Structure 1
């Protein structure tokens, strides 16, 4: 192949990947299941905000983090809702999105046609994972956006008092919320890689979804046992709730970097495992 042909082939491959990714996103966000999961996540800040509005705030130190600060500033609805959603609800929805990635296509008999298209196994796997990451981001932003909206409607909104006691403007407070959303989205990327790998092992989507969700719960249980503290730093759930450093003045980025490094390790390990499995898998359906 001449250098000219190579030069023209590369953009076509890149545009083909972008087109495939666009098609995957379109398919994912046209599903009723996706919108049902996002709606369920949106209910968390709504129910939380309405409950606090009706019965009043909790005493300091009782209930989820930030719950006692909601009545003073509605922006804390988002943070309290995230704290509630991270241990179970967000991992559950991400497990569904990632566990269905390959197994769902196989169960519907469309996987072979996607590979004949030709999408290529490596490119298809990459696109499926990126779509799962996009869902991680949209799920987290749903909780944050609805929480901020509910808080703005039901409670006073003003300068945000950080955990260090410093007050910042509403605008900076919203930027901090977005930074926390980025932190949580990164936290879920490791779980999405695990779900993608499990999805390559079966043609039964519910099996991959359930296994991914169970692993997320099991990792958190292990992380809560003091006798197993030697393995805690290696758990993909270990830093899920460490976004408080983004609410300090100045911001301490060490937790964000450490979490990104941890999730990156899981992405590499399980991404490679998924790639090895999928590229050698005999696709019969």
Structure 2
């Protein structure tokens, strides 16, 4: 079924679906999560915690404290730490890579397929289309972080003993509360990726070549992290969208602090607002020929 045909089906029932906005959003999510590429990326993300767990399980010696990713030395003692370690491993590269692919494809992908003109002819409008495309990217962010956390928890339960978790503050919590904290960390990382998604949407309005938009978004994610590690640019660090990506350690202390969560959410909201406004300014004046 072609992309145009796939999108026409929801639009045909727009009256029953609550209007063109909901119909367009339903179509976007349906197309996004039926793509082989989307599922391939999600399965690749799910494989990361499994590989970590298997590697630790097959290792003949324990991981020394302080070696490798955060929490890796605790995996063999408590399987719940597989999810924590996998999220730490995926944040710098794997999650930005997959989100960059999805966000960079939002507008440029439609233009490349020749469906962008049709979408704008439908009673949706450019602002609504941008909002729907961004919502689709956010939905992928949620799915990506949740699948890493879920896969890590499952691998940890299967391969290692599970019990009370000792937090970074030295306090101990039960398995149920540890699962809740894992979900909170996944939510924190999802929020962290909102700014990158907005950047990808903005970049996508500048080109009709989705691969270029994807590559530019991923490169910007890497550049931001490199700049964040240069002490000579301390003044710039608080303004970089990746600055708080690994700041979820406060969620693993007792009492739990929400300061880093709030600062991260405020920073990402700023990027969403600025990049969203720039994307609208560019897209509203864009001549769509395909």
When normalised by structure 2's length, the TM-score is 0.93
Mapped to 1, the partners of 2:270 and 2:169 lie a distance apart of: 31
The equivalent of 1:201 in structure 2 is 206
Give the Å deviation of 1:250: 1.0
Rounded Cα–Cα distance in structure 2 between residues aligned with 1:129 and 1:155: 39
Partner Cα separation in structure 2 for residue 28 and residue 57 of structure 1: 41
Q: 2:195 aligns with which of 180, 190, 196?
A: 190
In structure 1, runs of 5+ residues without a counterpart are 1-10
How many angstroms apart in 2 are the aligned matches of 1:110 and 1:119? 14
CA distance in 1: counterparts of 2:145 and 2:72, whole angstroms: 18
User: Is contact 1:57-1:69 (8 Å) kept?
Assistant: no
Residue in 1 aligned with 2:27?
A: 23
Which residue is equivalent to 2:237?
Answer: 232
- Tell me how far apart the structure 2 counterparts of residues 266 and 230 of structure 1 sit (CA, whole Å): 18
Contact 1:81 1:147 (C-alpha < 8 Å) held by counterparts:
yes
Partners of 1:226 and 1:114 in 2: how far apart?
A: 46
Aligned position for 2:163: 158
The correspondence for 1:271, drawn from 268, 276, 280, is 276
Which residue does the alignment assign to 1:49?
A: 53
Q: Match of 1:65?
A: 70
Counterparts of 1:32 and 1:106, CA distance in 2:
20
Partner of 1:39: 43
2:99 pairs, out of 94, 115, 125, with: 94
Q: How many residues align?
A: 275
- Aligned partners of 2:121 and 2:53: how far apart in 1? 50
Unmatched tracts of structure 2, length 5 or more:
1-14
CA contact (8 A) 1:57 1:70 kept: no
**1:258 aligned to 2:263?**
yes
Describe the superposition over 1:31-74 as per-residue Cα deviations: whole angstroms up to 9, x where unpaired: 00000000111111010000000004310011100000101110
Shift of 1:12: 9.1
SS at match of 2:254: coil
Q: Aligned pair in 2 of structure 1 residues 47, 13: CA closer, same or farther (>3 Å)? A: closer
2:186 to 156, 181, 186: 181
CA distance in 2, matches of 1:144, 1:13: 33
Residue pair 1:67, 1:80 contacting (<8 A) in 2 also: yes
Give runs of ≥4 in structure 1 deviating > 4 Å. Answer: 11-14
- Deviations along 1:134-182, one digit per CA (max 9) or x if unpaired, are 0001000010000000000000011111111111110100000000000
1:119 counterpart residue number: 124
Moved more, 181-190 or 11-20: 11-20
Q: Say if 1:29 and 1:35, in contact at 8 Å, map to a contact too.
A: yes
Report how far residue 13 of structure 1 moved. Answer: 10
**SS of 1:63 mapped into structure 2:** coil
In the alignment, the residues of structure 2 paired with residue 123 and residue 13 of structure 1 have an alpha-carbon distance, to the nearest angstrom, of: 16
Match of 2:222 in 1: 217
Q: Compute the TM-score of the two structures, normalised by the length of structure 1.
A: 0.95
Instruction: Specify which of 79, 82, 105 is matched with residue 84 of structure 2.
Output: 79
SS in 2 for 1:52: helix
Specify whether residues 277 and 12 from structure 1 end up closer, same or farther in structure 2 by C-alpha distance, changes over 3 A only.
farther
Q: Give the aligned CA root-mean-square deviation in angstroms.
A: 1.3
User: Is the contact between residue 20 and residue 123 of structure 2 (CA under 8 Å) also seen in structure 1?
Assistant: no
User: Residue in 1 aligned with 2:7?
Assistant: none
